[in-house]
Structure 1
Amino acid sequence: MADLKGKRIALLATHGFEQSELEVPRDRLAGMGAEVHVIAPEDGDIKGWDGDDWGRPVSIDKTLDQASMDDYDALVLPGGQINPDLLRVNDDALAFIKRAYESGKVLAAICHAPWLLVETGIAEGATMTSYPSVKTDVKNAGATWVDEAVVADNGLITSRNPDDLEVFSKKIAEEILEGQHTRAAA
């Protein structure tokens, strides 16, 4: 198991995140020794989506206006259909995501969260995967879409769906331990 002691990871989400896509990486990465913060645009709890209905609330650690990507080694973007759709119209959320990418931090998105990589321009030129219904959006944004469980492209990690969360979490840890990545601006 990777040792992430001393590493800090931000999880950016809002209401409607896929429950397991936030909780599993949060818990796995914290279990490896990382300090993990849930960040949201709003204060208080955010409510997940679990199966066919609303899931459990998750307490946030910081609001988006209290957080600086400079304080983190990685940013994880859980999916669900509602969560990334709400975040992709939030300019502060998009700026936070771009800051992670442009500063060479590990950036990981699962399921529908690659919509955020499309919206920020990060998808262009990258090799990525996503939930199948997001495939056309990813390709139209100039990315190469591949049908794989998890794809890592220079510290940009994407994953298809919740069935791949264990591999996704391990890949995040591996990429964090590699250090910062050099990339062009989005």
Structure 2
Amino acid sequence: MDRPAWRRVWNRRPGDPPKRVFWTLLALTAAGTLWLRSIPLGDFFAQLVALWVWFGLAVAWLALLVSGLVRREGRARLRTARTRVRWLVAPVLVVVLIAALYFQVSLRARFALSEAALRKIAVATAEGRAVELGQAGLYRVTEAEAVPDGVLLTLDGADGFLTTGGGFGYFPNGVPPMANRDVRFTHVWGAWYSWWEAF
């Protein structure tokens, strides 16, 4: 007689790699993390929640591995090449994710798909023309501020810890000094920079 689906999901042998529930949570958390980091700074509290989820996944992975190592049956299963490879998939994926975050892959990809719409708002603002804020590509622009030699676009969701705002800056001639403001810039590409302002 076949076992119920929930028994097949949860019934584990010592040394078995993580199963469907773990991989589903891992995939959702990785996708959510990349999305959060596709905005300059990103939502601080949402990223804090994601960090705790990652911690829980790491603890679960380690606990499952240790439970296999402490039992003879589990150690025998862990000696097989196929099982070792399956155990290594999660750490390898995490390393790839960390590299993607370090090189801002998700931010650059989302920005590339939105650059034309963002540029339209930035140029109109720099020229003093009326501009309609709101959805611009895959970002939502909440404010467009003309500053010396450029424009600061404030984005919805770019609210890091102890900051007053953030987004993208458009500076065709490079970033000038920002008098009386603690604004930090990071080059994205071309005339574009990500920015955030501290309290």
TM-score, reference length from structure 1: 0.23
As a proportion of its length, which structure holds more helix? 2
Q: Which has the higher contact order (CA 8 A, sep 6+)?
A: 1
TM-score, reference length from structure 2: 0.22
Q: Which has the larger radius of gyration?
A: 2
As a proportion of its length, which structure holds more strand? 1
